[in-house]
Amino acid sequence: FLLLLSMAGDTSVSVNLRRETYARLTTYKDDTKCKDYSTAIENLLQVVLRPTSARVTRKKDSKLFLAICYLYRFGLIALGLYLLYQLAFFLYFPLFQVTQHPGDGKRVLFYGDPQIEGFARIKRQGIFGKIQNFYNDCYMKWVFRRTLALLEPDMVVLLGDLVSSQHISYPEFQSRVIRLRWIFELPAGKEDLKIVWLAGNHDIGYGSDCTPKRLERFEKEFGAQNQYFEYLGQKWLMFNSQVIDGARFERFHNETLEFLDQCRGDHLSTRDSKDGKPLIVLDHIPLYKPRGNCHDAPKIEKDSEGYIETQTMLSLKSSHLILSFGPTWIFNGHDHNGCFYEHRMERGVVREVTLRSMMGDYGGDS
């Protein structure tokens, strides 16, 4: 036993000794005392070896604790750097994105696809959904106020998809209108700044589900969707692009085409005259472009009755109609990733800007 105690510090020796002892004791199978000795030796070895394993366990626990401490320290440093970045972003955004403009130039500020959500998100996510809605409203209001203060525009244009669904009820629509008015509220001293509100497919639907109720409630709050006006030395044409390729309520489609034909005649008759002014087109759905030029490829899907229920770009026919006006610029939204494209025409180049969404996932673009 003293020999066992002296070798207890060496685990490999103790184990070998235990095996040798077992081998000798098992030769005396009929000796009861030998069986007792075997049990005693086994118990002694367990007692002797236990402190060694405990020390190993404590050493492992100590290393784990130190690793957790280092990770905690690293996490605090990372959190501090992130908060500093957020503070700098809040104070100086978007100074690093803004290019200098001549002081006497006219500036127009465009925003695309805010798509604010409402009760449906709260129903899905509970209190977290309510917090998300409030945070997103504050974020977009901050983006609007900061860009407004830095760029000092002469006009603001919202390019559609103001809300997230055309299927919401009237009370829900009114609730979101109040929130939109708060997000895009003009600060003191700029109350007379012109804001143009375009409708998108999430506001009034595509041709298959653009109903009189949905269109009327939107136009009641934000104005007519077919407009032709002069402002800032330019001519502006905005139209309901959701129904130009057909609509279940044919009246919407026909009224839009008649409006465009009338505006086209007026613009072309004065375009080359001394008093002619450049034309800028505003709509929600981008014009047709070959696949690969923008994030979304051209696609139109129709329901069983032949009405459009999904559309990434206008049809080639409708796009040619708009390009026949000979505009200098076209601005739209819909494709959240944004796109820039040049249409090569006989009279020159028509530049089309599909604005990136201002939602947080897309960086609050404007």
State pTM to two decimals.
0.75
Label residue 47 by pLDDT band (50, 70, 90).
low
Look at residue 224 and tell me if it is in a domain: yes
Indicate whether 298 and 353 sit together in one domain: yes
Do residues 232 and 328 touch, judged by C-beta distance below 8 A? no
Indicate whether 24 and 164 sit together in one domain: no
Indicate whether 249 and 114 sit together in one domain: yes
Indicate whether 235 and 137 sit together in one domain: yes
238 phi/psi in degrees, rounded to 5: -120, 140
Look at residue 18 and tell me if it is in a domain: yes
Residue 4 has a pLDDT of 45
Indicate whether 116 and 63 sit together in one domain: no
Look at residue 80 and tell me if it is in a domain: no
Label residue 1 by pLDDT band (50, 70, 90).
very low
Residue 83 has a pLDDT of 85
What is the amino acid identity at position 338?
Answer: G
Indicate whether 9 and 122 sit together in one domain: no
Cα–Cα distances (Å) from 56 to 6, 15, 47, 61, in that order, read: 20, 17, 15, 9
The 10s digit of each residue's pLDDT in 106-137 is 899 999 999 999 999 999 999 999 999 999 99
- Domain span holding position 54: 2-67
Q: Report which DSSP code applies to 295.
A: S
Indicate whether 38 and 169 sit together in one domain: no
Range in 68-77, 300-309, 336-345 the model is least confident about: 68-77
Residue 49 has a pLDDT of 54
Look at residue 351 and tell me if it is in a domain: yes
Indicate whether 6 and 143 sit together in one domain: no
Q: How many domains does the chain have?
A: 2
Look at residue 84 and tell me if it is in a domain: no
As a whole number, mean pLDDT of residues 221-248 equals 96
Do residues 206 and 245 touch, judged by C-beta distance below 8 A? no
> Token pair of 328, please?
């200098």
CATH number of the domain that 261 lies in? 3.60.21.10
pLDDT higher than 60, residue 14: no
Buried b (16+ CB within 10 A) or exposed e, 86-119: eeeeeeebbeeeeeeeeeeeeebbbbbbbbbbbb
Indicate whether 111 and 223 sit together in one domain: yes
Indicate whether 60 and 140 sit together in one domain: no
Q: Where are the beta strands (DSSP E) in the chain?
A: 108-111, 155-158, 194-197, 227-231, 234-238, 279-282, 300-302, 308-311, 329-332, 339-345, 348-354
Indicate whether 26 and 153 sit together in one domain: no
Indicate whether 268 and 203 sit together in one domain: yes
57 vs 208: which has the higher pLDDT? 208
* Residue after which a domain boundary falls, among 67, 90, 123: 67
Range in 289-298, 332-341, 357-366 the model is least confident about: 357-366
The 10s digit of each residue's pLDDT in 311-328 is 999 999 999 999 999 999
Residue 69 has a pLDDT of 87
155 vs 9: which has the higher pLDDT? 155
Q: Output the CA angle 143-149-153, nearest 5 degrees.
A: 100
